[in-house]
Amino acid sequence: MLEINNLKSRIGDTEILRGLSLSVNPGEVHAIMGPNGSGKSTLAQVVAGHQDYEVTGGSVTYKGQDLLELEPEERAREGIFLGFQYPVEIPGVNNAYLLKAALNAKRKHAGLDEIDAFEFLKTAREKMATLDMDPKFLNRGVNEGFSGGEKKRNEILQMAMLEPELAILDETDSGLDIDALKAVANGVNSLRNPDRAIVLVTHYQRLLDYIEPDFVHVLSEGQIIKSGDKSLALELEEKGYDWVREAASA
């Protein structure tokens, strides 16, 4: 589904990704771990198409097409979802409006009619219930005055509504208390299915107690230096990132 090959990218003059390769198939859950500054978030932003990141080498193929040729909105309509580490506030635009616009953009792309207003509300309310969110949320401005936990839940709600094929969640666990973490993990787990791939970008192994990954990758200085199964995450937790780095350079 997603083939990243020797990807190099920089922001301004700083090179961040230095030859990163990763292969993700439908149904898989990948965890990308690594210390601060290793390039985890950059990877997420480059796949989503953020204009500040310049791709200087390598390739990214998604469902057989050259992903780097597509505009960010085209990538989204093709099924790529990025759960932001820092979701932005858009004052005055209510959540329901944004959600509906996003959903309809995707439906239009797929040749479907716009979603029926009643159907939309019904689905949104159901999904919100599983995330333990107050239905009043829909009428508030997008992320406007939301707490950190509310913002992250909101990202998961959007993901649940948009039903992406490839979801990349960038540090969705950061700044969450345990209840919010569980709610978010529940939301993610309920979306696991054989057609959907999920990439979790995270700093801590804590999230992986709730969402069990199929693969764990360790990122350091813009490259994946070690891959393994979920036991790698536990080992990392115990021995720290230096252990992998030393092992890799040895």
> Which residues are at the interface with another protein (CB under 8 A)?
48-52, 71-73, 75-77, 81-82, 84, 87-88, 90-94, 97-98, 101-102, 105-106, 109, 141, 158, 162
Q: How far is the CB of 216 from another protein (least distance, A)?
A: 25
Q: Please state at what angle helix 95-109 crosses helix 117-130, rounded to 10 degrees.
A: 110
What is the C-alpha to C-alpha distance for residues 155 and 160, in angstroms, rounded to an integer? 9
- Residues with Cβ within 8 Å of residue 27, at least 6 apart in sequence: 193, 194, 195, 196, 197
Q: Is the dihedral of CA 194, 222, 149, 105 positive or negative?
A: negative
Let me know: does 77 contact 105? Beta carbons within 8 Å. Answer: yes
- In the complex, least distance from residue 15 CB atom to another protein, rounded to whole angstroms: 22
Residue 169 burial by Cβ neighbours in a 10 Å radius (0-12, 13-18, 19+): buried
Q: Toward another protein, which CB reaches closer, 90 or 121? A: 90
Question: Whole-number minimum distance, CB 93 to another protein, in Å?
Answer: 4
Q: How far is the CB of 109 from another protein (least distance, A)?
A: 7
Q: Which is nearer to another protein, 101 or 117 (CB)?
A: 101
Q: Smallest gap, in angstroms, from Cβ of residue 183 to another protein? A: 21
Residue in this structure with the two tokens 């796949």, named with its chain if needed: 47
Q: Which is nearer to another protein, 89 or 214 (CB)?
A: 89
Nearer to another protein, 154 or 205 (CB): 154
